[in-house]
């Protein structure tokens, strides 16, 4: 690389935009996980009798802290995945691949977000801060650096870190276990495999080219459909352990689960598996949005 090329590359990296930053931290994942963290915190306020208005600092520290921790994890993941992102269509334009954000700068951003985010979480309770650290470790080290590249069960293992945010929110207010935070964790944990299996089916060829052992790549699409059904069946059971949220929630969650079950069974009859994967993916996003927004609304009346 000559001096002119080096200079051009530095100039590009120096001029990265807000859009580049949001892509680096995976802003969509940050937003969705922040919502689940808020839900855990909100339900803790409502169910334990702790005053919401007298603890606005906890609200601010939890939302900002959990958002930054998730953002840090996403940025670390982008740095780790640079060797495979260029192979996949959906990731080849990430700023760490285009050169708009260098690997060194991405690491600095990730580290800064992680440190500040954890400091904010520890300002609520040490339990919330510790859970945040566990979440980063699970996603960055266990999933991104190991399971994603080595194991067919990578999606399930990655689901542990994705289920952490509701626990952060709950423990920031009420630093003790009870049925509700455990169920919130399990809902998030069981939701992620069918959600990401749909992505893996749609991007099967890309994952195969990148050498990532996703379930549809190794075991096939039919097996992936059966695994999707398995996790949705587990989701269908969970509302009946969440009576603390009331009958309305149990009915709503059950209706949403039955619809997803119908989509799963329909998938075995559809010849176009890619179309089915798109349907399942879109439904999974709407499912989670409706479910957690309903928890927040229902929490007002608890």
Q: What is the pLDDT of residue 8?
A: 42
- Radius of gyration, alpha carbons of the chain: 20
Give per-residue pLDDT as tens, 268-290: 999 999 999 999 999 999 999 99
Please choose, from the candidates 193, 190, 218, the residue with its C-alpha nearest in 3D space to the C-alpha of residue 204. 218
Amino acid 176: pLDDT? 87
Report all structural domains of the chain as residue ranges with CATH numbers, in order of start: 18-300 (1.10.357.140)
The per-residue pLDDT for range 33-47, each reduced to its tens digit, is: 999 999 999 999 999
Q: What is the mean pLDDT of the chain?
A: 93
The pLDDT confidence band at residue 11, using thresholds 50, 70 and 90, is very low
pTM: 0.92
Across the range 125-136, mean pLDDT stands at: 98
Instruction: Evaluate if residue 9 carries a pLDDT over 60.
Output: no
pLDDT number for residue 7: 39
pLDDT at 16: 73
What tokens does 59 get? 């609200």
pLDDT classification of 14: cutoffs 50, 70, 90: low
Query: What would the pLDDT profile of 190-244 be if each residue is shown by its tens digit?
Result: 999 999 999 999 999 999 999 999 999 999 999 999 999 999 999 999 999 999 9
Q: What is the mean pLDDT of residues 181-196?
A: 98
């Amino acid at each position: 690389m000559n001096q002119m090329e080096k200079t051009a590359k530095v100039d590009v990296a120096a001029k990265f935009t807000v859009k580049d930053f949001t892509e680096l931290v995976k802003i969509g994942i940050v937003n969705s996980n922040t919502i689940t963290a808020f839900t855990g915190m909100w339900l803790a306020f409502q169910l334990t009798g702790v005053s919401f208005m007298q603890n606005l600092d906890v609200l601010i520290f939890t939302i900002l802290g959990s958002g930054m921790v998730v953002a840090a994890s996403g940025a670390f993941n982008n740095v780790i995945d640079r060797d495979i992102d260029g192979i996949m269509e959906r990731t080849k334009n990430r700023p760490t691949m285009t050169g708009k954000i260098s690997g060194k700068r991405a690491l600095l951003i990730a580290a800064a977000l992680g440190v500040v985010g954890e400091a904010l979480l520890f300002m609520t309770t040490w339990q919330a801060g510790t859970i945040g650290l566990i979440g980063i470790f699970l996603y960055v080290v266990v999933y991104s650096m190991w399971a994603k590249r080595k194991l067919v069960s990578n999606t399930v293992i990655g689901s542990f870190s994705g289920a952490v945010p509701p626990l952060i929110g709950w423990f920031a207010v009420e630093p003790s276990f009870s049925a509700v935070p455990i169920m919130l964790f399990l809902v998030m944990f069981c939701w992620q495999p069918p959600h990401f299996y749909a992505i893996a089916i749609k991007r099967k060829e890309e994952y195969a080219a990148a050498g990532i052992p996703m379930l549809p790549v190794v075991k096939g699409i039919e097996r992936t459909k059966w695994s999707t059904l398995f996790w949705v069946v587990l989701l269908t059971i969970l509302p009946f352990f969440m009576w603390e949220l009331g009958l309305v929630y149990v009915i709503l969650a059950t209706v949403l689960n039955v619809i997803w079950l119908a989509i799963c069974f329909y998938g075995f009859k559809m010849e176009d598996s890619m179309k089915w994967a798109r349907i399942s993916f879109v439904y999974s996003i709407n499912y989670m949005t409706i479910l957690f927004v309903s928890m927040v609304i229902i929490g007002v009346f608890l």
